[in-house]
Amino acid sequence: MNGSLPKVNKLSSEELNTFEKQFKALADTKRLHLLNLLSIRGEMCVCDLIEELKMPQSKLSYHLKIMTDANILQKETRGTWSYYSVNEGHVDNLLSEQLCCILKPSK
Per-residue pLDDT of the chain (107 residues; tens, 9 = 90+): 455 555 666 778 888 888 889 889 989 999 999 999 999 999 999 999 999 999 999 999 999 999 999 999 999 999 999 999 999 887 877 776 656 655 555 55
Structural domain spans, the chain: 13-103
For residue 74, the model assigns a pLDDT of 96
For residue 68, the model assigns a pLDDT of 96
User: pTM for this structure?
Assistant: 0.78
For residue 19, the model assigns a pLDDT of 83
CA neighbor of 73 nearest in space, from 38, 45, 27: 38
Query: Phi and psi at residue 17, in whole multiples of 5°?
Result: -65, -40
Cα 34 to Cα 104: distance, rounded to the nearest angstrom: 28
Look at domain 13-103 and name its CATH class: mainly alpha
